[in-house]
Structure 1
Amino acid sequence: MVQVLRRTLERRGRIRTHTRKAPPVTQIGQGSTEFRVELPSVATTLTLAWAALTDVGHRREVNEDSLLAAPPLFAVADGMGGHSAGDVASTAVVTRLAELSGTLVAEAGSIDRALALAVEDMAQGVGVTDQGTGTTVTGVALALVSDAVSWIVYNIGDSRVYRLTGGVLEQITNDHSVVQELVDAGRITREEADVHPHGNIITRAVGFHEPPIPDYRILPIQAGMRILVCSDGLTKELTSYGIRHFLLEQKLAADAVAAMVTAALENGGRDNVTAIVIDVLAVEPYEASNT
């Protein structure tokens, strides 16, 4: 099913493939420097800009990351399972989420259904996928919550969403990982977590061993806010201080993702590196066209 979906999307021009030194990676959607979203039901018009970039890194032979950048959804999926299985898993997730693109807004229920279908798609990869195949997924989706335009933030695993507002960087998602549980229990510090030998073990994934259950959080949308969605290949190489530096220094989304991915590669590039930056350029009253 995944390969059929992939071929269909390639014919439609919705998947771009990168072949730096790895098999094709799934990237659905293009960047935009100005994209208007008109929401007459809440008398609001948004103007967004975004850019996305992925790289196989220096130590991996396969890029198992996949990404979606097509309103109302943005997502990064970091596959696991070895060989091509991780790529199949992450492709299944972003492909199913991409079916929600083209609508004005999304909702948590539609994201849940897309992830459940992605698990069914993974099961069709007999001979490629197995019980160890899975993927993280994290992202944001435009939504209407209590008649207000908001981001739905969703995540499973240790890929992350950050928010930059007023010069303050905040990690919005909570990692589903062994080290995060140790931090939460007060057994290790955040600094110790960054170098912990079990730092790559996650406790929740989109895969065969459990139903996909994302955490959700609602963020009211404000003009000037900047969102970063990224795989752990970025956060392994850049501290929060470094991420904040590049998000503040680079005014354009495309320049910000390029600077962060380049820095991650220069700092070691031990894993696949994927990042999406989304800017809320304006939030304005909706004005109906006279034409």
Structure 2
Amino acid sequence: MTQIGQGSNNFTVTLPSGENTLTLSWASLTDTGHRREVNEDSVVSVPPIFAVADGMGGHSAGDVASSAVVTRLAEFAHRSETDASSITRALSLAVEDMAKGEGVTDLGTGTTVTGVALALESGAPQWIVFNIGDSRVYQLVSGVLEQITVDHSVVQELVDAGRITREEADVHPHGNVITRAVGFHEPPVPDFRILPVIPGMRILVCSDGLTKELTPYGIRHFMLSNPNPADAAAALVTAALENGGRDNVTVIVLDVLAPSRADDEALGLSAGING
């Protein structure tokens, strides 16, 4: 398990106009769970990048794979040129790194990854959402919880084909089988989506150790009832453990606070992100 960045922090950037600031507040938390001996999840929470990687259990050195991914993504720290192509490039370099990892066999190793990166488009801040596998990104806006990413999994394909319901997917025997991963000597193929940065929005980045144990209703409940990101992260992880804790569980809760006038302590996003 690799954790890069402080578990709880605030960060302020100045928008290119120089008139307003944007403040992010976040917390990350991970737990091995009750049934796993090793935590193969890894997490990076260093602006502008917030991501979770879930090393694939049952394969060699899943912790090596997840660590390689977050280590490469952490190279975006304090930089402003984040975009989809650079994220894909970082994941490709992580695949190369995995081959050199201790305990990795000739068959290779793999991990899921999902996250968000803060970027600028025509002077406006936006989130680049990316994912490979079944770790997820959610957004909570005005009390409405929405899953932003789409799982790359066998059960998701069955749901999309209308062969099973979403409720049946939650208990399907092939629920752990993913159809896309980072690793196994193959080029990574992430999905990307752009989200506007909305003051008051809350983002959740999580491994499937959370979504195996909590329904969307439960996730929304704990996200709404805990205004502080650290409290929300702790409540989510605790609930997952109390509901079984069958897997490693990792979460990042990320808030976008209302913009304010720039002050002397604000840091410039347009000139490079600083932490």
Verify same fold: TM over 0.5.
Answer: yes
Q: CA RMSD in A?
A: 1.8
Matched, 1:137 2:113: yes
Q: Partner residue of 1:61?
A: 37
Correspondence for 2:73 among 76, 90, 97: 97
Q: Is the 8 A contact 2:15 2:123 kept in 1?
A: no
Q: Which residue identity does 2:217 align to in structure 1?
A: Y
Give the Cα separation in 1 of the matches to 2:33 and 2:227.
Answer: 25
Q: Partner residue of 2:234?
A: 258
Deviation at 1:148? 1.6
Q: Partner residue of 1:11?
A: none
Q: Is the 8 A contact 2:29 2:251 kept in 1?
A: yes
Q: Partner residue of 1:270?
A: 246
Q: Which residue identity does 2:219 align to in structure 1?
A: I
Q: Is the 8 A contact 2:61 2:102 kept in 1?
A: no
Q: Over residues 146-186 of structure 1, what are the superposed CA-to-partner deviations in whole Å (9 max), with x where a residue is unaligned?
A: 33200100000000000000000000000000000000011
Q: Partner residue of 1:29?
A: 5
Q: Over residues 51-100 of structure 1, what are the superposed CA-to-partner deviations in whole Å (9 max), with x where a residue is unaligned?
A: 00000000000100000000000000000154760000000000000011
- Judging changes above 3 Å, is the alpha-carbon distance between structure 1 residues 126 and 252 closer, same or farther for their aligned structure 2 residues? closer
Q: Partner residue of 1:149?
A: 125
SS of residue matched to 1:152 = strand
Q: Is the 8 A contact 1:81 1:132 kept in 2?
A: no
Q: Partner residue of 1:111?
A: 87
Larger deviation, residues 102-111 vs 65-74 = 102-111
TM-score by length of 2: 0.91
Q: Partner residue of 1:15?
A: none
Deviation at 1:129? 4.1
Q: Over residues 12-66 of structure 1, what are the superposed CA-to-partner deviations in whole Å (9 max), with x where a residue is unaligned?
A: xxxxxxxxxxxxx210000344310123267542101000000000000010000
Q: Over residues 108-140 of structure 1, what are the superposed CA-to-partner deviations in whole Å (9 max), with x where a residue is unaligned?
A: 111111101000001112643442510000000
- Judging changes above 3 Å, is the alpha-carbon distance between structure 1 residues 264 and 126 closer, same or farther for their aligned structure 2 residues? closer
Give the Cα separation in 2 of the matches to 1:156 and 1:83.
Answer: 17
Structure 2 unaligned segments of length 5 or more: list them: 266-275
Q: Is the 8 A contact 1:42 1:148 kept in 2?
A: no
SS of residue matched to 1:93 = helix
- Which structure has more relative contact order (CA 8 Å, sep 6+)? It is 2
Give the Cα separation in 1 of the matches to 2:171 and 2:257.
Answer: 37
Matched, 1:279 2:258: no
Q: Is the 8 A contact 1:81 1:133 kept in 2?
A: no
- Judging changes above 3 Å, is the alpha-carbon distance between structure 1 residues 238 and 165 closer, same or farther for their aligned structure 2 residues? same
Deviation at 1:283? 2.6
SS of residue matched to 2:149 = coil
Q: Which residue identity does 2:162 align to in structure 1?
A: G
Correspondence for 1:185 among 158, 161, 166: 161
% identical aligned pairs: 76
Give the Cα separation in 2 of the matches to 1:224 and 1:97.
Answer: 26
Q: Is the 8 A contact 1:50 1:254 kept in 2?
A: yes
Matched, 1:242 2:218: yes
Deviation at 1:209? 4.8
SS of residue matched to 1:99 = helix
